[in-house]
Amino acid sequence: METAIKTSELQYDLPPSLIAQRPIEPRDASRLLIVDRSSGTWRHGKFAEILDLVRDGDCLVRNTTKVIPAKFEALRDSGARVGGLFLRELGPGRWSCMLSNVKRVRDGERLRLGESAWSISIVSRGERGECEVAVEPSGTASEVLAAVGRTPLPPYIRRDTDSSRSDAETDVDRYQTVFARTPGAVAAPTAGLHFTTALMDSMAAKGVTLSDVTLHVGLGTFQPVVVEHLAEHEMHSEWYEMTQGAAERIRTARAGGGRSIAIGTTSVRVLETIASGGELRAASGWTNLLIYPPYAFRATDALLTNFHLPGSTLLALVAAFAGYQLTMAAYAEAVREAYRFFSYGDAMLIV
């Protein structure tokens, strides 16, 4: 058994030029690093080849969360601009959100949401930039954000104020999976971005079943690990759901010799959160499950994932699944071969 690793052991050197700034077209034209846990080897391919790597009887577990236009701009009376990121709705007219330069904003201060009729007032502030705000006039988050929000791209994807209109339009479409349907995420489950509808249809025709879960990707995606021992890292809770039908499809596939193939680390966290209590079943709630080596996976047989930031909880999960040494060796290979990294980058299939 591997011993618990430290955050410093999850670091690797990544040339900035390998951070993908825009998606490749078409979606399934990305590269795919295929890693075999049993042999400790890998090979290079194209993402579309995944159709040849899945088998009749396998079950693909995909996260159907939908990214909402969670990024917004608020204006102080002075005209100063404050960047905001919606996190979740706490109740009617109450949000949890992140605000930039939050220490300069006063409790009770009202900020206008762009040129719209809406404003927010600061109710309370957390230590890490989180705020509770009251929205006036009251409206649902989806209604307000549809009017004032933008696609919440990760900070390593650069879009300055002079970015073209085509970039913004592309991000609205491409920073969303083709199977997204349940609004609530502030970041995309990026392993799913590589799939096209045609590719999913071809998999179904091959005898692969689909099991849909939901995990609304939240603040944890943006929260860096600042402690050396991963066990001390505080994961933010994210809402998840699995229906009884989805659970039964996974159980049936595995009972028949098929594999539970998780599309992305978010799907893994749903599977393992529920399986930690025993059999896979219908469940919903909030999870703050942090997976790092060593970890005994209960419901995940293969993992499709993008390449993740150094020192991140996502990389820790991959290292737990593939093994630390193999994971770091595969990442070094991906850097040598100039794979594209992070949200709009290439993918890795671990079997």
Per-residue pLDDT of 79-117, as tens digits, reads: 899 999 999 999 999 999 999 877 788 889 999 998 899
297 within some domain: yes
Q: Is residue 331 part of a domain?
A: yes
Evaluate whether residue 136 is within a structural domain: yes
The answer to the question of residue 159 being in a domain is no
Ranges of the chain whose pLDDT falls below 70: 1-3, 127, 160-165, 221-222
Residue 154 domain-assigned (yes or no)? no
Domain extent for 119: 71-148
**What pLDDT, on the 0 to 100 scale, is given for residue 4?**
72
Domain presence at residue 246: yes
User: Are 77 and 53 within one domain?
Assistant: no
Residues 328 and 203 in one domain: yes
Do 63 and 76 share a domain, yes or no? no
| In a shared domain, residues 196 and 339 | yes
CATH number of the domain that residue 85 is part of: 2.40.10.240
pLDDT value, residue 267: 98
Domain count, the chain: 2
CATH number at residue 46: 3.40.1780.10
The per-residue pLDDT for 1 is 43
Are 182 and 328 found together in one domain?
Answer: yes
Q: In three state form, how does the secondary structure of the chain look?
A: CCCCCEHHHHCCCCCHHHECCCCCCCHHHCEEEEEECCCCEEEEEEHHHHHHHCCCCCEEEEECEEECCCEEEEECCCCCEEEEEEEEEEECCEEEEEECCHHHCCCCCEEEECCCCCEEEEEEECCCCEEEEEEECCCCHHHHHHHHCECCCCCCCCCCCCCCHHHHHHHHHHCCCCCCCEEEECCCCHHHHHCCHHHHHHHHHCCCEEEEEEECCCHHHCCCCCCCEHHHCCCCCEEEEECHHHHHHHHHHHHCCCCEEEECHHHHHHHHHHHCCCCCCCEEEEECCCCCCCCCCCCCCEEEEECCCCCCHHHHHHHHHHCHHHHHHHHHHHHHCCCCECCCCCEEEEC
* Residues 261 and 286 reside in one and the same domain: yes
46 and 192 inside one domain? yes
Kindly state whether residues 182 and 297 are assigned to the same domain.
Answer: yes
Q: Is the pTM of this model over 0.75?
A: yes
Look at residue 200 in the predicted model and tell me its pLDDT: 96
Q: Are residues 82 and 210 in the same domain?
A: no
Residue that is last in its domain, among 115, 148, 181: 148
